[in-house]
Amino acid sequence: MPERTDPLVRAEHVLELCQGAASDLVRGAESLGLKPEPHRLGAEARHLFVFVALSALIERGEKPVVDALKEQYALSLLDTRKQVKGIVDQTMAGHEARRLKGLLDDAASKDPFAPYYGTWESLKKSPDAGPFARFTDLVLDRCFQPGERKLARERVHTLALSYADAVLDQIYSP
Protein backbone atom coordinates (compact mmCIF):
# COMPACT_ATOMS: atom_id res chain seq x y z
CA MET A 1 0.00 0.00 0.00
CA PRO A 2 1.42 3.42 -0.91
CA GLU A 3 2.26 5.78 1.91
CA ARG A 4 -0.21 8.41 3.00
CA THR A 5 2.22 11.02 1.70
CA ASP A 6 1.50 9.85 -1.86
CA PRO A 7 -0.67 12.61 -3.43
CA LEU A 8 -3.21 10.17 -4.87
CA VAL A 9 -3.59 8.28 -1.59
CA ARG A 10 -3.90 11.54 0.30
CA ALA A 11 -6.48 12.85 -2.18
CA GLU A 12 -8.53 9.66 -1.86
CA HIS A 13 -8.38 9.98 1.93
CA VAL A 14 -9.54 13.62 1.79
CA LEU A 15 -12.36 12.65 -0.56
CA GLU A 16 -13.44 9.95 1.91
CA LEU A 17 -13.36 12.52 4.73
CA CYS A 18 -15.55 14.87 2.70
CA GLN A 19 -18.02 12.12 1.85
CA GLY A 20 -18.17 11.08 5.50
CA ALA A 21 -18.75 14.67 6.60
CA ALA A 22 -21.53 15.06 4.02
CA SER A 23 -23.24 11.89 5.26
CA ASP A 24 -22.84 13.06 8.86
CA LEU A 25 -24.38 16.42 7.99
CA VAL A 26 -27.44 14.73 6.50
CA ARG A 27 -27.83 12.46 9.53
CA GLY A 28 -27.28 15.45 11.83
CA ALA A 29 -29.99 17.46 10.10
CA GLU A 30 -32.38 14.53 10.36
CA SER A 31 -31.54 13.97 14.03
CA LEU A 32 -32.43 17.62 14.71
CA GLY A 33 -35.92 16.97 13.40
CA LEU A 34 -35.38 18.37 9.92
CA LYS A 35 -36.62 16.53 6.84
CA PRO A 36 -34.21 17.36 4.02
CA GLU A 37 -33.99 15.74 0.62
CA PRO A 38 -31.06 13.58 1.78
CA HIS A 39 -29.40 12.81 -1.55
CA ARG A 40 -29.47 16.41 -2.69
CA LEU A 41 -28.29 17.74 0.67
CA GLY A 42 -25.50 15.14 0.76
CA ALA A 43 -24.33 16.05 -2.74
CA GLU A 44 -24.34 19.78 -1.99
CA ALA A 45 -22.51 19.18 1.29
CA ARG A 46 -19.88 17.10 -0.46
CA HIS A 47 -19.27 19.94 -2.95
CA LEU A 48 -18.81 22.34 -0.02
CA PHE A 49 -16.46 20.07 1.92
CA VAL A 50 -14.31 19.30 -1.13
CA PHE A 51 -14.16 23.05 -1.87
CA VAL A 52 -13.06 23.75 1.72
CA ALA A 53 -10.49 20.94 1.56
CA LEU A 54 -9.12 22.19 -1.76
CA SER A 55 -8.86 25.70 -0.34
CA ALA A 56 -6.90 24.41 2.66
CA LEU A 57 -4.59 22.30 0.50
CA ILE A 58 -3.95 25.21 -1.87
CA GLU A 59 -3.15 27.42 1.11
CA ARG A 60 -0.68 24.80 2.32
CA GLY A 61 0.97 24.65 -1.11
CA GLU A 62 0.11 20.99 -1.69
CA LYS A 63 -0.36 21.24 -5.46
CA PRO A 64 0.13 17.51 -6.21
CA VAL A 65 -2.60 16.63 -3.69
CA VAL A 66 -4.85 19.41 -5.03
CA ASP A 67 -4.47 18.13 -8.58
CA ALA A 68 -5.10 14.52 -7.51
CA LEU A 69 -8.15 15.54 -5.46
CA LYS A 70 -9.64 17.49 -8.37
CA GLU A 71 -9.14 14.51 -10.65
CA GLN A 72 -10.55 11.98 -8.18
CA TYR A 73 -13.55 14.20 -7.48
CA ALA A 74 -14.28 14.69 -11.17
CA LEU A 75 -14.07 10.92 -11.70
CA SER A 76 -16.41 10.27 -8.77
CA LEU A 77 -18.96 12.74 -10.16
CA LEU A 78 -18.72 11.09 -13.58
CA ASP A 79 -19.20 7.64 -12.04
CA THR A 80 -22.21 8.81 -10.03
CA ARG A 81 -23.85 10.28 -13.12
CA LYS A 82 -23.27 7.01 -15.02
CA GLN A 83 -24.87 5.05 -12.19
CA VAL A 84 -27.89 7.35 -12.07
CA LYS A 85 -28.30 7.11 -15.85
CA GLY A 86 -28.23 3.33 -15.52
CA ILE A 87 -30.97 3.47 -12.91
CA VAL A 88 -33.01 5.79 -15.13
CA ASP A 89 -32.59 3.35 -18.05
CA GLN A 90 -33.79 0.46 -15.90
CA THR A 91 -36.72 2.19 -14.24
CA MET A 92 -38.04 4.81 -16.65
CA ALA A 93 -38.86 5.21 -20.29
CA GLY A 94 -39.83 7.85 -22.78
CA HIS A 95 -39.82 11.58 -22.31
CA GLU A 96 -39.20 11.60 -18.54
CA ALA A 97 -36.11 9.37 -18.91
CA ARG A 98 -34.71 11.59 -21.67
CA ARG A 99 -35.42 14.70 -19.56
CA LEU A 100 -33.60 13.32 -16.51
CA LYS A 101 -30.65 12.15 -18.58
CA GLY A 102 -30.52 15.61 -20.16
CA LEU A 103 -30.41 17.19 -16.71
CA LEU A 104 -27.51 14.90 -15.79
CA ASP A 105 -25.67 15.87 -18.98
CA ASP A 106 -26.26 19.56 -18.20
CA ALA A 107 -24.93 19.08 -14.67
CA ALA A 108 -21.78 17.48 -16.05
CA SER A 109 -20.87 20.72 -17.80
CA LYS A 110 -21.25 22.84 -14.66
CA ASP A 111 -18.53 23.48 -12.11
CA PRO A 112 -19.76 22.17 -8.73
CA PHE A 113 -17.63 24.76 -6.95
CA ALA A 114 -18.89 27.79 -8.90
CA PRO A 115 -21.30 28.92 -6.15
CA TYR A 116 -18.37 29.18 -3.74
CA TYR A 117 -15.89 31.17 -5.80
CA GLY A 118 -15.16 34.50 -4.13
CA THR A 119 -16.82 33.50 -0.87
CA TRP A 120 -13.60 33.51 1.17
CA GLU A 121 -13.06 37.14 0.15
CA SER A 122 -16.69 37.92 0.99
CA LEU A 123 -16.24 36.30 4.39
CA LYS A 124 -13.58 38.87 5.24
CA LYS A 125 -16.19 41.61 4.78
CA SER A 126 -19.11 39.86 6.50
CA PRO A 127 -19.45 36.59 8.43
CA ASP A 128 -22.81 36.13 6.72
CA ALA A 129 -21.26 36.04 3.24
CA GLY A 130 -18.76 33.16 3.34
CA PRO A 131 -18.91 29.69 1.80
CA PHE A 132 -20.97 28.27 4.67
CA ALA A 133 -23.59 30.98 4.34
CA ARG A 134 -23.67 30.37 0.57
CA PHE A 135 -24.08 26.63 1.17
CA THR A 136 -26.92 27.26 3.62
CA ASP A 137 -28.69 29.53 1.14
CA LEU A 138 -28.34 26.94 -1.64
CA VAL A 139 -29.60 23.98 0.34
CA LEU A 140 -32.50 25.77 2.01
CA ASP A 141 -34.20 26.25 -1.33
CA ARG A 142 -33.13 22.96 -2.87
CA CYS A 143 -33.46 20.53 0.03
CA PHE A 144 -36.07 21.79 2.49
CA GLN A 145 -39.77 22.50 2.35
CA PRO A 146 -40.77 26.17 2.82
CA GLY A 147 -42.20 25.54 6.30
CA GLU A 148 -38.94 24.28 7.76
CA ARG A 149 -36.43 26.60 6.06
CA LYS A 150 -36.30 29.10 8.92
CA LEU A 151 -35.50 26.38 11.45
CA ALA A 152 -33.09 24.69 9.05
CA ARG A 153 -31.05 27.86 8.36
CA GLU A 154 -29.20 28.02 11.68
CA ARG A 155 -29.00 24.28 12.20
CA VAL A 156 -27.62 23.44 8.78
CA HIS A 157 -25.16 26.34 8.92
CA THR A 158 -23.89 25.16 12.31
CA LEU A 159 -23.61 21.56 11.12
CA ALA A 160 -21.69 22.62 8.01
CA LEU A 161 -19.21 24.62 10.08
CA SER A 162 -18.74 21.78 12.54
CA TYR A 163 -18.16 19.06 9.94
CA ALA A 164 -15.89 21.31 7.87
CA ASP A 165 -13.78 21.86 10.99
CA ALA A 166 -13.54 18.08 11.41
CA VAL A 167 -12.37 17.68 7.80
CA LEU A 168 -9.81 20.47 8.23
CA ASP A 169 -8.54 18.96 11.49
CA GLN A 170 -7.79 15.75 9.60
CA ILE A 171 -6.13 17.60 6.72
CA TYR A 172 -3.94 19.63 9.07
CA SER A 173 -3.03 16.70 11.34
CA PRO A 174 0.30 15.01 10.60
Q: Are 36 and 152 in contact (CB under 8 A)?
A: yes
> Among residues 29, 15, 8, 14, which one has the least CA distance to residue 156?
29
- Alpha carbons within 13 A on the beta-carbon side of 20: 11
Confidence class of residue 51 from pLDDT cuts 50, 70 and 90?
very high
| Average pLDDT for 31-54 | 93
> Using CA atoms, how far apart are residues 137 and 25, in angstroms rounded to an integer?
15
| Average pLDDT for 105-132 | 81
> Using CA atoms, how far apart are residues 160 and 157, in angstroms rounded to an integer?
5
User: What is the per-residue pLDDT across 74-83, written as a single tens digit (0 to 9) for each?
Assistant: 888 888 878 8
Give the pLDDT of residue 72: 92
Name the residue type at position 131: P
